[in-house]
Chain A
Amino acid sequence: MPAKEILAALRDLLSAGWRIQIANGRSHAYARAYCPGGDDGCPPLSVYGTPQVPEHEAEKMRRAMRRCPHRP
């Protein structure tokens, strides 16, 4: 299970209308997140489950969310 900071950022993405797809348990990527723009949206965001600094991973996830021009 990823660190609490990453889970909190995933919850923020969900609240902002992103779709979260959890990966299989053997990969470095814990999840893939898709912005609300659908097929014309931002490229998918791969969320690593065991980053060096979980706060930094969470910040980058939120950056992707803030930069997304497809926010409802």
Chain B
Amino acid sequence: MYTYWFDLEVSGAVSERQVETLADVLVAAGGIDATVQAGADGGSVMFSRASDSALHAVISAVEQLRAAGMSVIGAREDLVVTEEIAERARVTSAAARYWVTGERGPGGFPSPRVRHPRNSLYSWAEVSAWLAAAKLGEVDHLAAETARACALVNAALTVRDGLRDLPAYDRPLLARFVG
């Protein structure tokens, strides 16, 4: 068993009742391994799930959120801010910021997945690969596996939503294509 860290994005209002229902669902499955940060305009649910595979971890989490009445619109791999990169790489926050800006290190630092003036979010899978290439750390294989699983689940969610919106006569074509 490994522990996989990822977030699921949810749309629509998430009520306190749904947060409680999710806890019931998780307890029945073995224990609470999710933390909800969502409200009237949706949000996300952070998971640290013990599983044999990242894909199993992400898909089981999506199913549990649905069982709690939440609408899942996407999966996000382990994303980190500069401060976390520094902690994980065991360097100062200033050193990590220099890597990001290219003022130090070999350059080519991964682009943020979510840009924000103060707290951009980076893919830990990409950052750990960059650190390994720069001989500053090791590749986090679990993060890489989680990133692949999230990409697949996002593609599956896109296809599922696309199938729902397609005219009935086109649905078998797409279903056969992905099947």
Contacts and interface: CB of A to CB of B under 8 A. Distances in A.
Interface of A: 27-29, 32, 42-48, 50-53, 56-57, 59-61, 63-64, 66-69, 71
A52 B33 CA distance: 6
A44 B37 contact: yes
A64 B60 CA distance: 23
B30 interface: yes
A52 B32 contact: yes
A29 B20 contact: yes
B141 to A, nearest CB: 19
Consensus secondary structure, chain B interface: mixed
Contacts of B95: none
Consensus secondary structure, chain A interface: mixed
A22 to B, nearest CB: 13
B20 A61 contact: no
A52 B31 contact: yes
Given A27-B20, A29-B20, A63 B33 contact: no
Q: For the side of the interface on B, what is the size category?
A: 20 to 34
Given A51-B33, A53-B48, A69-B117, 11 more contacts: A32-B16, A43-B14, A43-B39, A43-B43, A46-B38, A48-B32, A50-B32, A52-B33, A56-B33, A64-B37, A68-B119
B170 to A, nearest CB: 36
A12 to B, nearest CB: 13
B37 A69 contact: no
Contacts of A52: 30-33
A57 B32 CA distance: 9
Given A45-B35, A52-B32, A67 B81 contact: yes
A28 B31 contact: no
Closest 3 CB pairs of A and B: A52-B31, A28-B23, A43-B43
